[in-house]
Structure 1
């Protein structure tokens, strides 16, 4: 190990010489002469400009702990005499300008000390050897290691606040120095195939003056093992052996599946290849998690993205599956790691047949009494709370309620939505009847209401199927905020049915136009669809079947979804516009599941 030896020749002489010196003896004063001899063996090629470990500072401390003499460079005392009173002293010597408490490259720290006793009339000599007081670490990468695309060894200290040092293969590998404390060595390698491997090793019982040499090489066989350790004096050599291929090998990878209720999108690719890959020999295999046999699905190769994709159909909702990407040709066979996914539950629409109705106080809700009690409310709500509770109780009307006469399925009920003018004490508003998934929030004075649209859902349907029966009248009320050019007085009223999948509930305040739905541009909306105006007209006393197809703006899985369905007997009812002669019936609603239509299609 390289060391620096500084011999501090401290000569204390009480000599019978000239008369002036005799007077000093009588005054109980002695002389100290400092001679520094060095035997330095240090690599100084890249020592930082502001720090020179060979510049030795000296302090002389008396028995009371007071510094009686000091210098940043012992050379300033060379050839001089120091007078000291008899007594005990400690002479400290160390590298000037650094205390060794931080890590860094090319920053060795040397220190040493010795106690001496100065006696009148006697000569004393103290020899101090300054040795390495921090810890030296060097990293070497064997020639075999150079075949890796990259390698970095990170050495970190267990001492708080001490920075880790990175030894990067291919750069100048300077020695690193750390204060005394346990170390952790982490090596990260990337081979020519882009595969990454890592290993961490702890070095305990670290001592000053030790030189820890970390050698890395590639093994001929075996696996990544703990390093072998050899000790040669102050040198402790750790040899790390990696059995990791430096070359590219054929490896496949499968991505997390985008699983819906009855189908799933699969995606995979070639992470690395040692030869040419024939896309025609690639396939996906899948099975339920508890099955033994794999089923096969062909893989489509996308040359631009170099990905393999497939769509698994006819899957079972709420079921766990495994899948993998497989390649097999000319005796060579490779498979990716297995990826597990669970299909979404094909959740049904609560009370979609509209058969159940429950009256709480003055307000009708489309829910059974038991479900209302169990769930603390209804999955569906309407404009009824606005006309039967609070200030609306003066009106005491339920624009939306069950009807057992006009029904699509005999023996049940439908939802009747009847637009009307509601007034009390000379104050009135046009009220379009509504039915929606969500909750009526509160009235906004006498001008409107706040409504929370959306109920938490566990699946992504692709549409809504059902039946409606609509009689429309001529528009006889038109709110001041109604957009120009639509819903003019005397024109035919329209009904409305629309649906959306959202990332969060949507609160509408119909006194604030900025809160109105913008299904196509609202970032909260994942998918949307609505009944076209051409179909939202009178059904001439008949039931009309409809299907609303959702357009998905985003098909990537989310943590949660909210289902929004809104029906209204007057399309522009949010603007207090419509006809008091419009009545709509809704029945037998059900969600449609399958592969989605995207907004780009």
Structure 2
């Protein structure tokens, strides 16, 4: 017999006293006990068991004794000596239990027990030896890597009532007898399955069994699905082991995650399939696990219910985010399937804001019948008191609602169809008309838009206005949406009467359209001269072509292709040398509002009389603040109409465009400096400009009280052309004139 540790609790003297060597005075006897603990097993000596306590139970078994059922317990440390125990004469049973300090029956605490009989006689000391041996069967369970890595989520082995989990490394201790092994595992459905092996061996006390659980794959039948096979190997100890191998087939439960159905904006129906070979096994707690795509952990689960159709399980999932990718699986080890929720009803960022009104937009992706918006103040949080407004489908396929009755310079939050996306807007502080730019038959309006929010070029603003022809009644208020970058650069009002005077917003804000402002209308008279009008008359624009045609084959002011690429939609003004008989004179290209009063060739050869041919000014009764337009120019050096001693000789010629507002009669080149002007402005340049380029000139008002009765707009290819001075082949091109009325400037504001 091998022994690991032998503890002598009551140290025996090497020379024992004789049984009657001690003097006894009360008629009792004594017992002297020696206890030896033997921790070995049959197949291997144990070297790691530490004995911390020995419990001794002494029971009286004397026949016909009144204390026959008497018993008493003693506890000793394994190495502590003990005094002799005094007992009444009789027969006694001695039971010693050695342990590591705990005798709790947890299946993992070894206990060593031994017993002996002793007779106590009066006046004598008896001696008893007890050897404590293992009274149970030692069992250790190991799991092969094939088990650890298999599809079961949990497993354990129960041997003799002691459960060994997958992580259990300790040895267990079971009662002797038929050795049974129950291998238990959780299938993919989360249900415990048990494979029982009875009477594997007849286990005896002090035997050591080492059980190893392993698995191997086998080919299934039918669809070729694989099944698991468990092999249980039992070694009796580690020295000269006796192996017992038992192979058992484990039924494979097939769990499949199916494609989701009824996927909407915030909900979906999850589907899974559970199949066991017998058709009788069902999952104990079937669940779906789901998460947003890209999230690491499966943080959410939902219980599933059977649909009783082909062992399918379903779950309705709600509260999802729209337009979002999710993945889910049926049961813990099921395959993963993706789905994406539909795009929900969206509150679009697009909006248009006014002072007391706003347009908001949404995208409807559900089957809602009545689409609506709701809004509250930005400072509020309770949507139950929100104002609802029905929405209508617009031409771009979105839904639009008009929010009215808003407060100026106030922030609001709004949403479409209770969308999770909430947008905000801030109404403007004020919107008023700042200016009008009038062409031939249209007007571009610019608004003064005040807002506490920094508006971007792409922000849309709701503006409103009313206008009428002077003398008529007011029409209805017009509303429209403009982008900030368009403000003042869009033809807001079209179809106006040329050379017509209109009021906008109030009687004081007037503007007059400029007849044939884009020079799209030309007429070639019987004298072969070009007129910038509908006939050979000077109903608005005039040129010197009628006089030039007396001396030259062609007009020096003529129509050309305009900025719009259309023939005869712009004007070309060329400085030339016209000859009458033997005499030549310089003629600058010119175009002006007024008339041309040619009298005779003899007057044409007289400079003072020729200066009176052009009469400047047409009837006009409003107060523009500027003139815009487009031009190109080619300049040459001045060499006509003056001698070389003049400081202007050899200088680059200049083009000139000017505006004069005045009252009274038309003026000519001889009276230009004696006329009193209400306002005037000029643009001139000697630079060569080869591409169409915009110009702007502002009018300076000398009289902000009186209304002008005439307007003179003059364009010439040579700035000194009125004095017959300039450069040959200086050429000016003009197109798209517009009068500007800025109501924030003089004379509207002093």
Is the pair's TM-score, using the shorter chain for normalization, greater than 0.5?
Answer: no
TM-score normalised by the chain length of structure 1: 0.38
Q: Which structure: larger Rg?
A: 2
Which structure's relative contact order is higher, taking Cα pairs within 8 Å and 6+ residues apart? 1
TM-score normalised by the chain length of structure 2: 0.31
